[in-house]
Structure 1
Amino acid sequence: MSEVVLDGVVKRYGRVTALAGADLSVPSGQLTAVLGPSGCGKTTLLRCLAGFERLDGGEIRIDGAVVAGGGRHLPAHRRRIAVVPQEGALFPHLRVAENVGYGLDRATRRTDRVEEVLALVGLAGYGDRMPHQLSGGQQQRVAVARALAPRPSVVLLDEPFSALDAGLRAGLRHDVREALRADGATGVLVTHDQGEALSVADKVVVLRDGRVVQAAAPTTVYREPADPWVAGFVGDAVLLPAIVESGTARTALGVLPVAGAVADGPVTVLLRPEQIRLAAGAGGVTGTVLRHDFHGHDALVGLRLGDGTAITARVLDGAAVPMDGEVGVRVDGAARVFPVDTDRRVPVDLAA
């Protein structure tokens, strides 16, 4: 197990700055997910960690030893870092066991290490099969086993589940997480899938424009996002202009309690759709149902309030919501509050 630290890492491609002083700490033995939109620097960060790119600034340390930065660049093959690519990239002419053992020395191949890591990824007994005899999900499991086989300091996973269908992806990512934990590996998962990051990682790192804007436990990133952009990127968010007065926020959804001590004045409040409750009939704040997107376990219901404000509610029984009908709307729990960005201020019109 190894702790990984990125300190002010900068990487440029010509005039484009892919990483602009990224700071990141990956705890030993844990899986950290790096999340962000396309072009934010996720893949560049992974390539710098792996040793495929030279830094233009900052440094990278593994267990306290500098592997990049300050004029030093330890080659990729000497960093004891394994990479699992988006597609397994197995050797088609080699059996599964030969693929897994490819990077092992002769002595280690004579041990049961190959069988051990195949068992970790749920492929015990598959060693004699050829890659073309495996499903896409099984091929990715072999790629993870190959990465774990030489006991690397760090395993980097570059969106390894993106090519799989939803059913395979959900099961495989949890199995891979358990395999990493069982082998004591430190993992970095690069993904654009918010649900994936929140569900499997011990720590979620959100990148924007080459910088880390938040790094915390998944529950913290979801419940206490660093700013409105993170709130909207990590999960569904209802963001409303508001006026804070004496510890409460006056919003289009009524007067709401706020989380923490907040100075009076204009703010932006965050509510998650599951905080929005719907009830039949009028009374209090009402909204007109514009749409509902059924997901099986729940549904997202789009509403328009009387003042024209659009919001989204998450309900368990989407079929019970009347399309184009009017429903009562209330809020459960406190709202999280952000200072208003004066350069991008949302107009506040909450006159009584």
Structure 2
Amino acid sequence: MSTLRLRGVTRHYGPVAALAGVDLTVPGGSLTAVLGPSGCGKTTLLRCVAGFERIDAGEITVDGRVFAGPAVHTPPQRRHIVIVPQEGALFPHLSVRDNVAYGLSRADRRRGRVEEVLRLVGLAGYGARMPHQMSGGQQQRVAVARALAPRPSLVLLDEPFSALDAGLRAEVRHDVRAALRADGATGILVTHDQGEALSSADRIAVMREGVIVQDDSPTGVYHRPADAWVAAFVGDAIVLPVPAGPGLGHGGDTATVRTALGPVTVADLPAGHGPLTVLVRPEQVKITTAPAPRAVIATVTGDDFHGHDALVTLKLPDGTHVTARVPAPTGPMTTGTRVGVHVEGVARAWPDRHGAG
């Protein structure tokens, strides 16, 4: 189980800093998802770790061995790191067994490593098939089996599920994660899919403009985002302004603030009395048809029914539109219905640098 560390890693393309001082630790045997919007530097980070790109500054180590740093650049073939690309890139003229065995020593082949990794990815008995006889999801599993076969120090997954349809993507993602765990592999998953990162990774490194802005557990990133941008990027978010004024508390306090959704309890309140940006998740917005002391009267303007839950869009008295996630609804809510809404649980808040009212 190899541990990867990046310290102050920088990579420029002319005047553009694709990586602007990246610090990241991937513990041995874990899977870290690098999550961020297009152009934030995710793929450049992966290519630098693999050795396809030279870094301009900083250091990359695996188990203390320096692979990249000042005057050091270990070539890709000597790093014992493998990449699973977006599309498996299997050899079309080789069978599944020969694809997986490619690059293995005769000894490893004799010890049954090919059959072992095919079992790990749920493809036992498929060795004689050709790639064109496999579905897209099966081909991606073969690609993962081929990556695991030589027992690499690190497995890099470059959006490997993006070409699959939604239902198949979830199934393959689950099986690939199980295979990595069973083999004790250390992995990095590059993705722009928040759900994929939250559901499959041990840790999430959120990237923006060439730097890691938060490195945390999935629950930490979702419930304790580092700033309002992370909050809005990872999952659905309702961002509410709170005007400046007395009684907003001091740093570290928990207090109740007034918002368009009514009173909201805020933890880790920023110091001072300046305007705030408050984050509320849709599942915290509760709808009631009976009178409630904290409720704000809202009007239903839309209802997206998903079976297991629904997203109800509401218009508040001040014209603000918010979304409530309603679990296991019995049926759609009629547009125009007036309901009471209030916020349950604790919200996050940050200083509003642009002012709030």
| Length-normalised TM-score, structure 1 | 0.95
Report what 1:209 is aligned to: 209
Q: Is the 8 A contact 2:194 2:235 kept in 1?
A: yes
Question: What per-residue deviation string (whole Å, max 9, x for no partner) do you get for residues 20-58 of structure 1?
Answer: 111111011000000000000000000001000000111
Letter in 2 for 1:300: L
Q: Which runs of 5+ in 2 are unaligned?
A: 250-254
Letter in 2 for 1:277: K
Question: What per-residue deviation string (whole Å, max 9, x for no partner) do you get for residues 161-194 of structure 1?
Answer: 0000011100111111110000000000000100
User: CA distance change for structure 1 residues 224 and 98 in 2, over 3 Å: closer, same or farther?
Assistant: same
Cα distance in 2 between the residues matched to 1:145 and 1:209: 33
- How far 1:296 moved relative to its partner? 2.5
SS class of match (1:335)? strand
Letter in 2 for 1:258: V
Question: What per-residue deviation string (whole Å, max 9, x for no partner) do you get for residues 323-344 of structure 1?
Answer: 1221111111122111222xxx
Q: Is the 8 A contact 1:301 1:318 kept in 2?
A: no
Q: Is the 8 A contact 1:299 1:318 kept in 2?
A: no
User: Where does 1:1-352 land on structure 2 (aligned, <5 Å)?
Assistant: 1-243=1-243, 245-246=248-249, 247-265=255-273, 266-280=275-289, 284-316=295-327, 317=329, 319-341=331-353, 345-348=354-357
- Report the more deviating stretch, 191-200 or 299-308: 299-308
Cα distance in 2 between the residues matched to 1:263 and 1:70: 41
Cα distance in 1 between the residues matched to 2:35 and 2:305: 26
Q: Is the 8 A contact 1:285 1:330 kept in 2?
A: yes
User: CA distance change for structure 1 residues 334 and 151 in 2, over 3 Å: closer, same or farther?
Assistant: same
Cα distance in 1 between the residues matched to 2:248 and 2:100: 62
Equivalent pairs counted in the alignment come to 345
- How far 1:318 moved relative to its partner? 7.4
- Report the more deviating stretch, 239-248 or 286-295: 239-248
Cα distance in 2 between the residues matched to 1:6 and 1:22: 7
Question: What per-residue deviation string (whole Å, max 9, x for no partner) do you get for residues 300-332 of structure 1?
Answer: 121110011121111122734221221111111
Cα distance in 2 between the residues matched to 1:300 and 1:104: 50
Q: Is the 8 A contact 1:292 1:318 kept in 2?
A: no
SS class of match (2:150)? coil
Letter in 2 for 1:302: T
Root-mean-square deviation over aligned CA pairs:
1.4
Cα distance in 2 between the residues matched to 1:64 and 1:346: 46
Question: What per-residue deviation string (whole Å, max 9, x for no partner) do you get for residues 108-153 of structure 1?
Answer: 1222000000000000010001001100000000000000000000
Cα distance in 2 between the residues matched to 1:174 and 1:199: 9
SS class of match (2:267)? coil
Cα distance in 2 between the residues matched to 1:14 and 1:256: 47
| Length-normalised TM-score, structure 2 | 0.94
- How far 1:78 moved relative to its partner? 0.5
- How far 1:264 moved relative to its partner? 4.8
Letter in 1 for 2:38: S
Cα distance in 1 between the residues matched to 2:43 and 2:356: 37
- How far 1:103 moved relative to its partner? 1.4
Letter in 2 for 1:276: V
- How far 1:263 moved relative to its partner? 3.3
Q: Is the 8 A contact 1:31 1:203 kept in 2?
A: yes
- Report the more deviating stretch, 280-289 or 143-152: 280-289
Give aligned-pair identity as a percent: 65
Q: Is the 8 A contact 2:269 2:349 kept in 1?
A: no
